[in-house]
Structure 1
Amino acid sequence: MPAAATLADWKAASVPDFLAERSRQELARLGNPGWWGPPDLEALAELMQLAAAEGWRILPAGRGTRLDWGGLGHPVDAVISTAACDRLIEHAAADLTVTVEAGMTLGQLQTILAETGQWLPFDPIAGESSSLGALVSTGMSGSLRHRYGSLRDFLIGITFLRHDGQWAKGGGRVVKNVAGYDMMKLLHGAWGSLGLIGKLTFRTYPLPNAWGTIACQGDREAILQLRSQLVRSDLTPVAFDLLSPAAAAELELRSQWTVLLRFGSVAASVQEQQQVVELQATRLGLAAMTVAEPVWGQLNQSFEPRSRSATLIKFALLPSQLPCLLAELEAIAPTALGRVHAASGAGWLVWPEAEPTVETLLRLRRHCEVAEGFLSVLAASVSLKQQLDIWGYPGQGLAVMRAIKRQFDPQSRLAPGRFLAGLEE
C-alpha cells in the first residue's frame, strides 16, 4: 500500500480549476467525493488496490470535463482521474501504430502524429480536449466514422485496471493481432463500469494531402434525393452528414436542410469530387457552396451542451428510415439541432436551451426502435433524467451484460449507476 504521505500528494485539496460548472454540480450531487490524481500508472494501480481494500465506490475519470454525461450515478467515495497519466509510450510510425497512456488528450496525440504526417481519423463532438481513455470509455464518435469507422475500429490494444487494482490487457501493438480476447470492444462504451483504462494502442493513418468541404442546401425532399444518389455513387467522402435547418444556422449557413460533405485525398481528386457533387445538387434545384474546413470544428462545438439544462441525444436507426425521421423532427422538434451520419443512420440531437418534453423524447425513441435502432439521452438536467430511462431498451443482451459486470466488478464499485439501468441488479 502507498505511504500516507504519498496518498496526501495524490488527493487534490479541492476540485480542479479546469472542471466545467456542469461537472462541479455533478460532483456535488454525488456527495463531493475526493478527487484523486495519481502521477503515473504505477501509482494508479496502487490507488486502485487501496480502493479495493477499503471498499471505495469509484467514479473513473479522465480530465473530468463531462462528468454529468451518462446515467444518474450513485454517490461515490472517490473520483480517480488519469489526467496526469498522459505520456507517449511508443509511436511506431513505420507500422502505423501508437501506444499512449489513457490521460493523453486527443489534441495532444494529433500534434504528435502530425510530426510524421499521420493522424487518428477521429473527430468526436466531445472535442480534442478530452482524454483518450474517456473517449473510449464513453464510446464517442464523429463524422469521420463514415470513412474510417468509430474509435473502436482502430483501437488494437488496451491495458486496464480491474476492480482489485490488478492489470489486465487485450490486443497488442501490431495491427494483425489475434491473441486473447477482444477486450477493446468490451471496454469501449462501457462508461467505466468494467475497469479503469491505463494504456491504449491505436492504428494510425496517413494524413490526406488536401481537404475540401461542400454544403448543399434546400428542401427536405430534394436533400434526401441527393443523399440517395451520393450513397450509391463512386464518390469517397471521409464525412457525409445531414443537418437540420437549426444546425445549419449555427454554422452561419441558411436555415435549411443541408448535406455536408468532406473529402480528403490528393488535391485533384478532392476538386473533381466536389464538382460532381455540385453538378448533382444543381440538377435537383439545391444550392451548393464550398465551405472552409473549420466548419467541422464549429459543428462539433454547436453540439456540445452549454448549460445544465441543455439536452444531448445519441440515436441510430436503419438508413432507409431516415426520410420518416427527418419528417418527425421537422414536426415535433424544429428547434433541435440535428445531425445524422447519412450512410449509417447514426446521429445526434441537441436542445441547447429549451428542454424537450419527456413525451417528445419517448416519441422519438419509439420511432427509432421501430426502425431497429435506439435513442439514448447522454446529457440532460437531473429532473429530466429522473423521468425516463436514459439508455432505452437494451435488447436481448441485458442478462449477458449483467454476468459480465459481475465478473469484472462483483461488488458494483466501479461507476455505480452510471451505465445501463438494471445492470447492477
Structure 2
Amino acid sequence: MRLADNQLIALFTDLLGVDGVVLFDRLAPNLHKRVVNSLTPDSLPPVCMLYPQTIAELSMAIALAYEHRLRVLPCGNATKLDWGGLVSRADLVISTSKLNRVIEHCVGDLTVTVESGVKYQDLQTVLAKEGQFLAINPPYSAEATIGGILATGSAGSLRHRYNSVRDMCLGIEFVRSDGEVAKAGGRVVKNVAGYDLMKLLTGSYGTLGIATSVTFRLYPLPEYTQIVVLTGTAEAIAQAQQKISTSVLTPTACDLLSATAIADLGLGKGIGLVLQFASLKASVIEQCDRIAVLAKELNLEVQILGEAKEFWELLEILIWQDELRNLEQSSESASVVCKLGLLPSASVSFVKECEQIFDNQSYYLQIHTGSGLGILRVEDVQDLEAIALQIAKVRSIAESCGGFLSILEAPQALKFGSRTLGNNSSNLENVWGYRGNARDLMVKVQQQFDPRGLLSCDRLYS
C-alpha cells in the first residue's frame, strides 16, 4: 500500500532532517514550474523535494524509495529537468545540488574528481587557479551541475576539438535504483577497469542511476584565444567549411549559425561560420590570417573577435535565453528548443531549408560542423498544430541527412499529445525522434538497472 503524504514526509524527515525535505508547494516558483513541465499533464504532483547532503544520505533515501516503491525524479539544479520526454509519475524529486565537493584535483595527471552537485562555473574557477579547465561549454552554465551535464550529455561547441562529455569521463560512482552504490572506471587517464558504464550513463537522463561523483580528464588553459566570424552566401560558406575541414587548421570550435543569429549578434548579414582558435599566440594569429585569406578568395566578410568569452556568453543568451525562460510566460506564446544531428556535409543546405520552413518567424539555428550536432530554437510559438508540422518537416530533413531531431524544451501539449504521429506515439518517437530497431535492447538495459521502473518513469520509452 502506498504511503500517505504525511507518512512519506515524516519518513524522509527522520532521515534527512527538516532542512533536507521541502514540500512541493513551497518550492521556488521557477523550480516548481520546471518540475511541473517535466511531468505529463495527467500526472499527480510530487509530494516533496529531497536534498541529501552526503552520498550516504542519498543512498539511504533511494533505498527507502525502493522499499516503498516510490517513483523518483532525480535532478541537480533542475536547469535541464524539463528536457526531452515527460515523466509519467514522480512521488519524490531528489536533488544532488548539496553534493558539491571537489574530491580530488590531480594537477600533474590532468584529472579531477567531483561530486555531481558541483556547479560547472564553480569547478572551472577552481581549475583555472592551476591553469587547467574542463573542455565543455554546456547550456545554462551559470547554474548547471556536473551531474546534470553528464545526464544530458551536453558538451557544447568545444566538442569540435575535445570530443564529447562521455569521452572526457574517466570514472563514475552512482546510486542504483535499489540504493546500492556502484562504481566504474577510475581516476587515471589510462584505465581499463570494469565495464565502461560512464558512456552508458552519459545521456541517460536519470533513468539508469543517479551519479554521485565523476572523474574527468582536463586540459591546460590555452595561452591565447581568438574568434573568426565569416559571413556571406550559403554557397561560399559551404565552400569555406569544406576547405577548413580538410586543411591543417585546428580550430577548437567551428559553428554554423543561421542568418537570424548572425544578425541579432550584430555580426552582419547572411549565414555565418564561427571559428575559435586557442593555442600559442603565434599559432592562433597565423591560423586567423589563413582564414582571412580564404575569406577573401570566397568573397566572404571576415571579423576577428578578441573577446572569446564575451562572444560565447552572448551566443548562449541568444540560443538558450535563461532569463526569459524563468519568467512567467503567457500560455498563448512559448518557445520550442530542439537538439538535432545530421551529416556535417549537409549542414549548410539544412540551414537553407530551415530558412524556408521558418520564414517570417523568430528562430535561431546553431550547428557544430565537426559533429553535425546542433540546436534549433523557435520563439513566439502560438499555434501548436503549426509548430508540430514544422518540427515534423525539419525532423524529416534531418533524417534524410542521416540524422535525428529530439525535442528538448516545449509546451507539455506538444510533447504529450503528438500532433504529428497520432495520440498513441511514444516519447521515444514523438520527443526523441527514434524509430530504429534498438528499442527492445534499450528497454532490457534499463530493466537491468531499474527493474521496478522507479527512476524518471517513462522518460524514454513510454
Question: What is the TM-score with the length of structure 1 in the denominator?
Answer: 0.94
Q: Distance in 2 between matches of 1:380 and 1:2?
A: 33
* Per-residue deviation, residues 225-246 of structure 1 (Å, max 9, x unmatched): 1111111111100000010011
Call closer, same or farther: CA 1:20–1:165 in 2, change over 3 Å. closer
1:313 aligns with 2:338: yes
Equivalent residue, structure 1, for 2:291: 277
- 1:96 corresponds in structure 2 to 110
Q: Which residue of 1 aligns with 2:455?
A: 414
Query: How far 1:134 sits from its partner (Å)?
Result: 0.6
Q: Please say which of residues 342-351 and 392-401 is displaced more in the overlay.
A: 392-401
Q: Which residue of 1 aligns with 2:378?
A: 351
| Letter paired with 1:17 | A
Question: Aligned residue for 2:6?
Answer: none
The corresponding residue for 2:313 is 297
**1:32 corresponds to which letter in structure 2?**
P
What is the rounded CA distance, in whole Å, between the counterparts of 2:318 and 2:45 in structure 1? 30
Superposed CA deviations along residues 154-174 of structure 1, whole A, max 9, x for unmatched, are 100001000100001110001
Equivalent positions of 1:105-184 (< 5 A) are: 105-184=119-198
State how far apart, in whole Å, the 1-side matches of 2:458 and 2:391 are: 21
Which amino acid in structure 2 is aligned with residue 402 of structure 1?
Answer: V
CA shift, 1:282, in A, is 1.4
Where do 5+ consecutive residues of structure 2 fail to align? 1-10, 419-429
The alpha-carbon deviation at position 7 of structure 1 amounts to 4.3
Q: Aligned residue for 2:394?
A: 364
Q: Is the 8 A contact 1:22 1:68 kept in 2?
A: no
What is the identity, as a one-letter code, of the residue corresponding to 2:141? G
Q: CA deviation at 1:315?
A: 0.8
> 2: distance between equivalents of 1:349 and 1:157?
32
Alignment check: 8 A CA contact 1:211 1:263 kept: yes
Is the alpha carbon distance of 1:375 and 1:253 closer, same or farther for their aligned partners in structure 2, counting shifts above 3 Å?
A: same
**3-state SS, counterpart of residue 380 of structure 2:** coil
Contact 1:86–1:104 (CA under 8 A) maintained in structure 2: yes
**What is aligned with 2:446?**
405
Q: Which amino acid aligns with 1:395?
A: G
Structure 1 residue runs of 5 or longer lacking an equivalent are none
Of the candidates 343, 358, 365, which is equivalent to residue 338 of structure 1? 365
Partner of 2:3: none
- 8 A Cα contact 1:358 1:387, kept in partner: no
Q: Which amino acid aligns with 2:14?
A: A
Q: Percent identity, aligned pairs only?
A: 37
Report the more deviating stretch, 396-405 or 322-331. Answer: 322-331
2:20 alignment partner in structure 1: 10
Which residue in 2 is equivalent to 1:32? 45
Which 10-residue stretch deviates more, 319-328 or 150-159? 319-328
Q: CA deviation at 1:15?
A: 4.3
- Report the Cα distance in structure 2 between the residues aligned to 1:3 and 1:258, rounded to whole angstroms: 54
In the alignment, is the contact (CA less than 8 A) between 1:15 and 1:24 conserved in 2? Answer: no
Deviation at 1:399, TM superposition (A): 1.2
Give 3-state SS (helix, strand or coil) of 1:215's partner: strand
Q: Which residue of 2 aligns with 1:207?
A: 221
2:381 maps to amino acid: A
Separation (CA, whole Å) in 1 of partners of 2:266 and 2:44 = 42
Is residue 73 from structure 1 mapped to residue 87 from structure 2 by the alignment? yes
Q: Deviations over 1:276-297 (max 9, x none)?
A: 1011111111110112311112
Cα 1:21–1:214 shift into 2, 3 Å:
farther
- Corresponding residue number in structure 1 for 2:5: none
Contact 1:22 1:66 in 2 (8 A): no
Instruction: Report the secondary structure of 1:95's partner residue.
Output: coil
- 2:354 aligns with 329
CA–CA distance in structure 2, aligned partners of residues 209 and 351 of structure 1? 37
Report the count of equivalent residues: 421
